[in-house]
Amino acid sequence: MKLTESEYLDVWALAPARTLPGLIRRAALAVVGVIFLFSPYTLLLGIVVLILNALHLFAPKLSPAGASSAFHQHKYLRDALTCGVSERRLWVRSARLDASVSWQMLVTWRERGGWLVLSPSGVPPVYLLINRLKEEGLYERVIDLARENANEFKSGGPSRAS
């Protein structure tokens, strides 16, 4: 598989992907901000709400050190990747890369943008399409292995692996 820049951004961008409920909330917040502009008592609050709303909208695009820059810096992402898992190992292979580790080396995992991303120590992340795992009947087993060996990204709990 060839991970595209847009797929990479869906997984790694700081701001979550824009969803319809999120866009509706942003629009409602903008309307409230505009309404606040009509009263001298809430004028300052309206300006703050509109500025924060605009910053949330444009900040990911303004950050040069964001996920887009990281995508272009990772040489291994220029090649088609073969990522996989077995009961004992996780691996990433391409024309210029051949890396594998045991499940005990898994640090974190996350589901985002239709991908299951397994991030082991010492090798690039392993990207697995969630739909494909489910079609092949492997999703539950892979998630169980991930949960046994690492915390979900940003779960905040103590590490399960020793």
Q: Which residues, including other chains, have CB under 8 Å from residue 143's CB and lie 6 or more apart? A: 116
Which tens digit of pLDDT belongs to each residue from 109-139? Answer: 999 888 899 999 989 999 999 999 999 999 9
- pLDDT, residue 15, reads 57
- pLDDT, residue 162, reads 45
154: pLDDT strictly greater than 80: no
pLDDT band for 32, please (50, 70, 90 cuts): very high
CA–CA gap between residue 118 and residue 126 (Å, rounded):
5
Question: CB 5: neighbour CB atoms within 10 A?
Answer: 12
Mean pLDDT of 77-100: 90
What is the chain's mean pLDDT, rounded?
84
Calculate the CA 29 to chain-centre distance: 25
pLDDT band for 1, please (50, 70, 90 cuts): confident
Residue with more model confidence, 9 or 77: 77
* Locus of tokens 């697995």: 128
Which tens digit of pLDDT belongs to each residue from 85-94? Answer: 999 999 999 8
C-alpha closest to that of 15 among 71, 69, 54, 67: 67
